[in-house]
Structure 1
Amino acid sequence: MAKRKIIKIDSDKCNGCGLCIPNCPEGAIQMIDKKARLISDLFCDGLGACLGHCPQGAITIEEREAVEYDEKKTMENIVKHGENTIKAHLEHLKSHGQDKYYKEALEFLKERGIDMKVEKPKHVHGGMSGCPGSRMMDFTKEQAGAGDAEGTRQSQLRQWPIQLHLVSPIAPYFQKADVLLSADCVAYTVGDFHKDYLKGKSLAIACPKLDEGKEIYIEKIKSLIDDAKINTLTVMTMEVPCCHGLVALAQEAAQTAKRKIPIKSMIVSLKGKVLSEEWL
């Protein structure tokens, strides 16, 4: 055995949603006793494709003594699941610059008469993590939209504090209000966040990946619905998978609340465009 990077699953944080499993084409994770488990060090390449798909932040990368990752053994497991899984694995290796494993995978496929390769990966990972939410990307060379740069925008924020851990659900500005629950990063990507989305709403912000105490968030959202009797709840999140947990928290709170209110989900691209908008 050698010391290398490998995933670690915190069973206390894992809620058994299973989102990590289809995003581990190597087959290193399985659901056992309603929890995600790393079934074999042999199949885990330590690149972390599964990290960004865990809304609970239960999966991390650690460095420890582990059986060396074996690409050919992994491919024996992968080919059983068909063409789409094979392709996902090849893209995974290519996007992380794992040329050695990529060549080994192609050799394995060639020996079995399977002709498949990935010329250009969908994403190229940078930085220290495989999580899509922390992948390094540089937009500076792209032409920015001109927009209307003149004049001063007036802030539409009508309260303080705004962090969900700090707000009081019974504060007067939440009473019978239209509430915007926004992921932290949204306001930095949407150019006219204040004018187009915050105006006329009370605000709470949170990060479903990095914040602790998510059970407190559920109780606070529930209190906003039942005690503050808010009118509507709009949840704005980024397109990265780890951000979707905020919608899940809002839905869980709504399911346990006595009142029923309209909840809208809005997903924003990394360049500030609204990709989808729907009532849940």
Structure 2
Amino acid sequence: MGKRTIIEIDQELCDGCGTCETGCPEGALRIIGGKARLVGESLCDGLGACIGHCPKGAIHITERDADEYDEIAVLKEILPQGNPLLQAHFAHLDHHGQDLYLERAVNFLTSQGLPIPGGYERFGQKKAFAFSKPCGSGYAVSSPAKTQNAAGSPNASGGDAPAPSVFPAKPSGSSSLKNWPIQLHLANPRSPHFAGADVVVAADCTAFALGSFHADIVSGKSLVIACPKLDSGKDIYRAKLAEVIGQVRSVSVVIMEVPCCSGLLRLAQDARTDSGSKLPIQVLVVGIDGGFVARKTI
């Protein structure tokens, strides 16, 4: 269990009409005792598809400690109800850019010998390992380019060769940063670096997972960084981003593939709404193995 976004129902406002049930393909909502109830935290993805279906405005998104969303449990709820609901669930995940959940869903259906909803076959297994743990869990990452202790390297056979210097004498590459500070709490949205600029809003971890971050992401752009899981003051983030988005030429959001990182994209989308801007948001999802997992325009 960890802190994440999840829906909350105002029981005073809810009149038990049941329209939210049809707006939740995942089956997280049920009418019990004349009121809508969240029947399983693990069934709620926190994306808020049900909010627009409530005529009373009784549903909103909050952030609190909750069970991790479980895509496989959701599929087991959906499958007995037929293909239209499964198709709606896939479309819902796709609309919100949840490529990791789609990958899990496709792999599960494939493992069960079940058909994949049309157009989503591309989300089949892409890695040698699957992400079945929450954001706070540890993963071992290896790739041919990063393998250490290969034959002939120091200490590869347990010898006593001296360890190499911790740091090189000089950087091997140049920085592409054009603005400072970059942490969103410290950045001034009225800085001239943002006016008419191409701006990147990046999750903290992306710069460490993606070796070509400066060359591929930052070059020629202004940058702000934030962590949607651990940072506090997200209302301040939203207000600052709204001011930034209202004056830029383009905005891109770079996030990690782990579920908790999608909160940064939701924050940017909310900020865009607040700003009144119609700018598309270019989204890049980075894998923990350093690759590009998905690209999307929202």
Return the TM-score normalized by structure 1. 0.57
Distance of 1:58 and 1:164 partners within structure 2: 22
Give the corresponding residue for 2:222: 202
CA contact (8 A) 1:10 1:59 kept: no
For 1:215-254, what per-residue CA distance to the aligned partner results, in whole angstroms no more than 9, with x for missing partners? 222211110122xx11100000111122112111111221
Structure 1 segment 9-48 matched on structure 2, within 5 A: 11=8, 29-30=28-29, 39=39
Match of 1:220 among 240, 257, 270: 240
Give the corresponding residue for 1:144: 145
What secondary structure does 1:173 align onto?
coil
What secondary structure does 2:199 align onto?
strand
Residue 214 of structure 2 is aligned to residue 188 of structure 1: no
Give the corresponding residue for 1:267: 285
Give the corresponding residue for 1:100: none
Give the corresponding residue for 1:60: 66
CA contact (8 A) 1:54 1:242 kept: no
Residue 261 of structure 2 is aligned to residue 248 of structure 1: no
Structure 1 segment 88-107 matched on structure 2, within 5 A: none
Give the corresponding residue for 1:170: 190
CA contact (8 A) 1:163 1:204 kept: yes
Q: How far did 1:54 drift?
A: 4.0
CA contact (8 A) 1:174 1:230 kept: yes
Give the corresponding residue for 2:98: none
For 1:113-139, what per-residue CA distance to the aligned partner results, in whole angstroms no more than 9, with x for missing partners? xxxxxxxxx7475xxxx51x2222112
Give the corresponding residue for 2:250: 232
CA contact (8 A) 1:11 1:36 kept: no
CA contact (8 A) 1:169 1:220 kept: yes
Distance of 1:223 and 1:124 partners within structure 2: 35
Structure 1 segment 81-160 matched on structure 2, within 5 A: 123=130, 130-131=133-134, 133-140=135-142, 142-144=143-145, 152-160=172-180
What secondary structure does 1:174 align onto?
coil
User: Structure 1, unaligned stretches of length 5 or more?
Assistant: 62-75, 92-121
CA contact (8 A) 1:57 1:210 kept: no
Distance of 1:6 and 1:194 partners within structure 2: 31
Cα pair distance change 1:237/1:78, threshold 3 Å: closer
Give the corresponding residue for 2:154: none
Percent identity over the alignment is 35
Higher RCO (CA-CA < 8 Å; seq separation 6+): 1
Distance of 1:36 and 1:135 partners within structure 2: 32
**Letter in structure 1 aligned against 2:220:** G
Of residues 232-241 and 150-159 in structure 1, the stretch that sits farther from structure 2 once superposed is 150-159
**Letter in structure 2 aligned against 1:213:** G
What secondary structure does 2:182 align onto?
coil
User: Structure 2, unaligned stretches of length 5 or more?
Assistant: 10-19, 48-61, 68-75, 87-100, 105-128, 148-167
Distance of 2:269 and 2:284 partners within structure 1: 14
**Letter in structure 2 aligned against 1:235:** V
Distance of 1:211 and 1:60 partners within structure 2: 17
Cα pair distance change 1:50/1:139, threshold 3 Å: farther
Give the corresponding residue for 2:231: 211
Give the corresponding residue for 1:119: none
Q: How far did 1:207 drift?
A: 1.4
Q: How far did 1:78 drift?
A: 9.0
